[in-house]
Amino acid sequence: MQLFTEKGFTTDHWKSVFPDIQVEFVEEMNIDSDKEPTPNGLTWIVTQTPGWQKRISQFAKQGNKVIALTRQADLNEFKDAFSSGATGYLDALSNAEMLKLAKQTVEKGAVWLPSPIVNDLIKRTSQKIESKYQPNLDELTQKEKEVAEKVALGESNHEIAEEMKISERTVKSHLTQIYNKLNLRDRLHLMLYIRGAVN
């Protein structure tokens, strides 16, 4: 596992989460070198470092899973990262639990996105989805139905908590119950289910 960043980016946190991680500083590398990167499983690349998109593309073409690390989540940067071949995108300063979860998710072949990007995607697409099925919400409590509807509109946990006058922890608890009861994976899957795009 490798981390590509520039000098000055603190790597202590990373080494505490992933003790075996190999850190490479982009200032010491020639991005235009003809030498192909060696497949190494999972590669983390900090965005906005010189040649970051080209580096993502090189590693993805070699069969590596690539997670782009951002200093500030941005929809355009996210698009650039994924069009270059990344399969994950998250805050470079995420806590240990989030980093490990992102790693596990991407290594299993799934995609990892930060919730602000997911919420933005949901807001942009939810009203444009053609309904094919009637969602069955009978198993959900009234509060769970309310949370599910708000998630399907692209609202964040924080926004839902404020509107419903409950804690974010309670929102997360409701979401866990919703996912379990409806056999759904995540917010995007929930939105598609509520909109009748999947059954």
Is-above-0.85 flag for pTM? no
Mean pLDDT, residues 165-188: 94
What is residue 40's predicted lDDT score, i.e. its pLDDT? Answer: 58
Q: What is the pLDDT of residues 8-40, one digit of tens each?
A: 777 888 888 998 888 888 765 555 554 455 555
Confidence of residue 2 (pLDDT cuts 50, 70, 90): confident
Report DSSP letters for 76-134, one per residue: HHHHHHHHHT-SEEEETT--HHHHHHHHHHHHTT--B--HHHHHHHHHHHGGGPPP-S-
Q: What is the pLDDT of residues 41-99, one digit of tens each?
A: 899 999 988 889 999 999 999 888 999 999 888 889 999 999 999 999 999 888 898 89
- Locus of tokens 């993805």: 60
Domain boundaries, the chain: 2-112, 118-194
Q: Domain 2-112 sits in which CATH superfamily? A: Response regulator (3.40.50.2300)
Reply yes or no on domain 118-194 having CATH 1.10.10.10: yes
Q: How far apart are CA 18 and CA 96, in angstroms?
A: 9
Cβ atoms 89, 66 nearer than 8 A: no
Mean pLDDT, residues 164-191: 94
Confidence of residue 174 (pLDDT cuts 50, 70, 90): very high
Q: Tell me what the pLDDT averaged over the chain comes to.
A: 87
